């Protein structure tokens, strides 16, 4: 019987261990993917620590998956997928198709969303079984290591910007230039926005310029972030990628009238926003989830067209524990990606 390796956690907050399992066959409307690369996302910690309901152990995390289809389940005639196709699977790992959101075509907020590593074994493995509606097709121009992070970090920032109120020429600020933010700055520039990068420390200014930002705001410099945004003309949109509620709150008064704060950084602490900050200027605060498989494909095609790639560090599957801890410590530049070689 053939086997494959997975990196699993057997208890909440426990260490990773790499074990062998029998290779499974895909069921109806599912495919088996040979994993070539899988990014390590901060959201993987929600599953490793059982911070979300319904997590069962052992857990195999990983929702930034890139690889090739190696087996098709029944019922896929007419879907257009073949063995050997290059695909990605992200946070959107399939939908139920029958909840109210799905019936309205809003699949990313499916009430029964299938996130890899939560609903089924994720991509910290040599192989993964995924439902067909989770598949995005990889452009030839992207390597697997580049494509993996696009399926979560990429699509979340790209979608957050393209679905925002901002239009080309508007002032757009990106809060945080880490795993999400470094891509967000690149996308904002490519979309034609006057782009502001916001981070902690004067030493990030050079990085912001290298990413293409037109302006940099050091949030520790003394002048408030909101005041500096106002001197630049006020932001039509702030894309908050930093998982820091205090830092997110500090941008609100830098929004233009009818400006929009789009939150994608996950911090359990409450935002310190009062109604008057929103009412008088008609400002909007909204959360933005990731994106469907088609959104992932759109993200990758846009990235290929504009030469946008994530900055990644690659490690073999056997070094998953090291990579996960590096991600937690904030030391990654900017995405740790597990590869098959």
Cα distances (angstroms) measured from residue 236 to each of 162, 247, 255, 288: 13, 18, 6, 16
Tokens of 232: 């630049």
Residue written as token pair 């995390």: 61
Q: How far is CA 44 from the centre of its chain?
A: 11
| Beta-ladder partners of 33 | 69, 128
> CB of 293 within 8 A of CB of 92?
yes
Per-residue pLDDT of the chain (341 residues; tens, 9 = 90+): 599 999 999 999 999 999 999 999 999 999 999 999 999 999 999 999 999 999 999 999 999 999 999 999 999 999 999 999 999 999 999 999 999 999 999 999 999 999 999 999 999 999 999 999 999 999 999 999 999 999 999 999 999 999 999 999 999 999 999 999 999 999 999 999 999 999 999 999 999 999 999 999 999 998 999 999 999 999 999 999 999 999 999 999 999 999 999 999 999 999 999 999 999 999 999 999 999 999 999 999 999 999 999 999 999 999 999 999 999 998 898 999 999 86
Angle between helices 293-306 and 181-190 (to 10 degrees): 70
Q: Is 18 exposed, middle or buried (0-12, 13-18, 19+ CB in 10 A)?
A: middle
């Amino acid at each position: 019987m053939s086997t494959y390796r997975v990196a699993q956690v057997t208890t909440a907050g426990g260490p990773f261990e790499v074990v062998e399992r029998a290779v499974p066959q895909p069921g109806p409307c599912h495919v088996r993917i040979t994993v070539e690369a899988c990014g390590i996302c901060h959201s993987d910690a929600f599953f490793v620590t059982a911070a979300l309901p319904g997590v069962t152990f052992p857990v195999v995390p990983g929702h930034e998956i890139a690889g090739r289809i190696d087996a098709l389940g029944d019922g896929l005639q007419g879907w257009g997928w073949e063995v050997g196709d290059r695909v990605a699977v992200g946070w959107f790992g399939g939908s139920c198709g029958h909840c109210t959101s799905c019936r309205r075509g809003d699949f990313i907020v499916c009430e029964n969303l299938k996130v890899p590593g939560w609903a089924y074994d994720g991509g910290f493995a040599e192989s993964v079984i995924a439902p067909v509606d989770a598949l995005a097709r990889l452009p030839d121009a992207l390597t697997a290591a580049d494509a993996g992070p696009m399926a979560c970090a990429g699509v979340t920032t790209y979608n957050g910007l393209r679905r925002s109120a901002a239009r080309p020429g508007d002032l757009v600020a990106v809060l945080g230039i880490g795993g999400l933010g470094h891509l967000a700055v690149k996308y904002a520039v490519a979309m034609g926005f006057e782009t502001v990068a916001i981070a902690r420390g004067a030493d990030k200014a050079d990085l912001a310029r290298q990413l293409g930002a037109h302006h940099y705001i050091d949030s520790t410099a003394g002048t408030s972030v909101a005041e500096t945004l106002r001197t630049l003309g006020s932001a039509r949109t702030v894309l908050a990628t930093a998982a820091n509620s205090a830092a997110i709150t500090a941008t609100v008064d830098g929004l233009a009238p009818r400006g929009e704060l789009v939150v994608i950084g996950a911090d359990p602490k409450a935002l310190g926003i009062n109604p008057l900050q929103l009412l008088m200027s008609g400002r909007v605060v909204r959360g933005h989830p990731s994106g469907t498989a088609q959104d992932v494909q759109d993200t990758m095609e846009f990235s290929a067209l504009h030469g946008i790639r994530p900055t990644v560090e690659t490690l073999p599957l056997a070094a998953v524990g090291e990579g996960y801890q590096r991600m937690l410590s904030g030391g990654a530049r900017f995405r740790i990606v597990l590869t098959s070689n």
